[in-house]
Structures are given as C-alpha cells and as structure tokens.
C-alpha cells in the first residue's frame, strides 16, 4: 500500500529550492531586487509552502481566491482550502504587478531573504473584506478580543499575490534542528519505518497523561503502526510554554512511555492562527501532505477563549467539508481524563455513571500555579518526569 497522496496533486511539490546552485543564484539575484520586510504570518506561510505542508499552493493567494476561501473553503479554481494564505502589507510602495521582489524575514536578525516572489497582482481589501474574512475564518465573539483577528488586522490591507521560491526555513531549522521537519522529510521517514497507517497528533502545549493516553487509544482503535506527534514551533500567545520546553517534555514522555520506533516527535514552522474549526481543517490538510492517514481532532481544537463550541472543530468535517475533499480520516476525541472509579484515563463521553467529581480534572491555570510553586501535579494528571521538566522551566522564569 502506497503512502497517502498529498492534497491536490499526485506528488508533493514543496516550494523550497533544493538545488544548491539555483538557491545560491536566487540569493545573489535577491540582493538586487526590491525587498519587502514581511509580517511574521507571511513568513510562516512561506515556510509552510517551502516545506510542502501547503501543497499544492504555488504562492500567495490573490483577493478573489482569499474571499472565495473565506466564503466557501475553495479557491476560484475549485481547490478545497480552509484559510486564506496571504502576503499582506500596509503599503506596497513602488511594487507593481510583473515585479520580482525579495521577501525579507522579520523573525531572524539582519532580516535575510526568505523567498523570491513574482508579483502577479497588487490589490487591496476593503474594511468590509477584512471584516468578512475575520468573521468567516476566525468567527470571533463580538464582545471579546481575538488574538488571531488582531494579528490578521495588524498586517495591513494590501495584498501581494503570486508564486514564490523559498530559500530557507527561517529560524526553525537552526533553533529546532532535532524537531523541525518538512512534509517531505516526514513522508520519507514514514516510508523508512514501513508504516501504513499513521495517526498525527497536533500540540502547542506539553503533553500530560490524558494526551499520551489519547494517542495510545487512537493508535489501538485505528490499528495504526505509527504516531507522529507534530508540534507547532512558531509564534504563540503570551503565557504559552516555549517550544524548547515542550519539546523536551514530549521527548521524555515518548522515550519512557511509548514502544521503541512507534512514535516520531516532530515540529512545523507556523504561527498559531487560533481559528478553531477552520484551523482544525487546515491542520488536517497539511497532515495529509506529510503522509498521515488519520488525524486526532480533540475538544477545543485550535481554539482560544470561549470563541468556539467544544466540538466545533469536529462537526465542521461533517457539515462543511465536502465529501472526498480530503483523503485523511479524522479521529474524533472527547476530553480525556483519569477516572478515579476505573483507575485509568478515559474519554469522558465513554465513562458510564460518572460525574465530574469522578475524574482528576485540573485547569491549565491550576497546573501552571502548581508547577510555579515547584509542585508536581498528581500522577493521574501528569507523568512525574514531564512535571520535573516543566517545574524547572517555571523556576527559571520566576528568578
């Protein structure tokens, strides 16, 4: 059985320029091109296209495609896609359609060139367009700030669209050499393992016992021979635990509590959108591109605050994703927690004759407070070896 096909094409077409001579020639050419310092979101989009995660996109979307994706989850040509992939700027200056420009990285010292772009159009969103995209993609509560909407609005309204060639992977390869992987590399590793059924787990947080058991549960029920733990390495909201700490905690958990060669710990270079259901669908698209056959979508997936219902990121696959749009299958998970009655981690919806008091439930705030005081959460909530790594981190920031 061959590895699952990427989304929208027979072969994966990453936009990174792997040919060394061509890459060097483009770097040299870029030094003489008009350059634009892009937003962090635009840079993250370039990294994802370069790595093959956003296959089959060839570059940044134009206004018509962005609005079509916001409204209908498909481009004007009919490609299924859940979120606009944009290069937004406040002012395009002298840049016009037909120009070739260099995109400079805002997240690396010295702002090196991240990609070369052939500009096909320079357009502008109206205030109404921006509001429509915010409403359709992020679905914010009207009376509550939304970090994804704020980041979207902060970039500007001018749209530069057209194909790109990506020259590097920003800071991700240097800062996370053991963890950052392209979709190409993960596909290759899945093939090397000989895995046929592969489930992916998305995380932007450390994994506690419930997350670990959810992965075991999914593997057992689906009959998977491989798990890819795939963590977000880009920008998060203030207060989230930094990627190196998460990475260390997750690696320790896999080392101690998963069979050898059954789980890969990897990461991808993207900024969190906090777009709830739409981001859940985007997560499924790029997990298919990296070779996963199944993807765990849990409670409050990619959510923030109270903007979304607990299971909106699951029901969108039933209600809004057209049949056949994706080949990857979704494993729907409820909140998982340790049952004091049964002495094991359960999906709460599957635990009969239970009340909330029958589970070990701790809020994120409560866990952070405990770790900050140097206290390990109960063993029914977190592995002690994982807690030790998190306690060290909280001690370091308290100094």
Q: Which residues are catalytic?
A: 204-205
Coil vs helix vs strand at 4: coil
- From residue 311, alpha-carbon distances to 115, 200, 359 in Å are 37, 18, 20
- What residues contact residue 334 under an 8 Å CB cut-off, 6+ apart? 298, 299, 347, 348, 349, 350
Residues 164-179: b if buried by 16+ CB within 10 A, e if exposed: bbbbbbbbbeeebeeb
Strands 294-297 and 329-332: parallel
> For residues 123 and 96, what is the distance between their CA atoms, to the nearest angstrom?
10
3-class SS letters over 52-76: CCCCCCCEECCHHHHHHHHHHCECC
192, 256, 190, 252: which is closest to 227 by C-alpha? 190
> For residues 371 and 388, what is the distance between their CA atoms, to the nearest angstrom?
9
- What residues contact residue 259 under an 8 Å CB cut-off, 6+ apart? none
Q: Where are the alpha helices (DSSP H) in the chain?
A: 20-30, 40-50, 63-72, 127-133, 147-153, 172-175, 183-193, 209-222, 243-257, 276-289, 312-319, 364-372, 384-398
Q: In 153-207, at which residue ranges do the beta strands (DSSP E only) sit? A: 158-166, 198-203
């Amino acid at each position: 059985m061959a590895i699952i096909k990427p989304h929208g094409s027979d072969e994966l077409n990453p936009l990174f320029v792997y040919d060394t001579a061509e890459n060097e020639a483009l770097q040299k050419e870029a030094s003489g091109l008009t350059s634009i310092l892009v937003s962090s979101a635009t840079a993250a989009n370039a990294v994802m296209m370069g790595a093959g995660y956003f296959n089959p996109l060839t570059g940044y979307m134009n206004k018509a495609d962005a609005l079509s994706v916001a409204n209908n989850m498909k481009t004007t040509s009919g490609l299924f896609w859940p979120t606009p992939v944009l290069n937004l700027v406040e002012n395009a200056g002298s840049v016009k359609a037909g120009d070739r420009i260099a995109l400079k990285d805002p997240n690396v010292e010295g702002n090196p060139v991240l990609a070369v772009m052939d500009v096909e159009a320079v357009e502008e969103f109206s205030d109404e367009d921006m509001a429509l995209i915010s409403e359709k993609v992020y679905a914010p509560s009207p009376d509550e700030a939304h970090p994804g909407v704020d980041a979207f609005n902060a970039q500007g309204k001018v749209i530069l669209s057209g194909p790109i060639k990506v020259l590097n992977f920003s800071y991700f390869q240097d800062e996370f050499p053991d963890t950052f992987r392209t979709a190409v590399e993960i596909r290759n590793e899945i093939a090397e393992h000989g895995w046929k059924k592969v489930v992916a787990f998305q995380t932007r947080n450390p994994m506690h016992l419930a997350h670990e058991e959810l992965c075991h549960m999914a593997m057992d029920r689906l009959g998977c021979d491989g798990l890819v733990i795939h963590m977000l390495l880009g920008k998060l909201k203030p207060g989230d635990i930094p990627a190196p700490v998460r990475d260390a905690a997750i690696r320790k958990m896999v080392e101690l509590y998963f069979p050898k060669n059954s789980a890969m710990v990897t990461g991808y270079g993207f900024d969190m959108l906090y777009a709830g259901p739409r981001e859940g669908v985007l997560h499924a698209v790029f997990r298919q591109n990296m070779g996963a056959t199944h993807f765990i979508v849990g409670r409050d997936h990619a959510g923030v605050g109270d903007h979304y219902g607990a299971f909106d990121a699951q029901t969108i696959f039933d209600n809004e994703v057209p049949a056949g749009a994706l080949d990857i299958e979704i494993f729907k998970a409820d909140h998982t927690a340790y049952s004091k009655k049964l002495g094991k981690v359960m999906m709460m919806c599957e635990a009969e004759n239970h009340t909330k008091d029958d589970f070990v439930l701790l809020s994120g705030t409560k866990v952070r407070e405990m770790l900050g005081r140097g206290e390990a959460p109960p063993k029914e909530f977190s592995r002690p070896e994982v807690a030790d790594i998190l306690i060290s981190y909280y001690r370091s920031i308290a100094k």
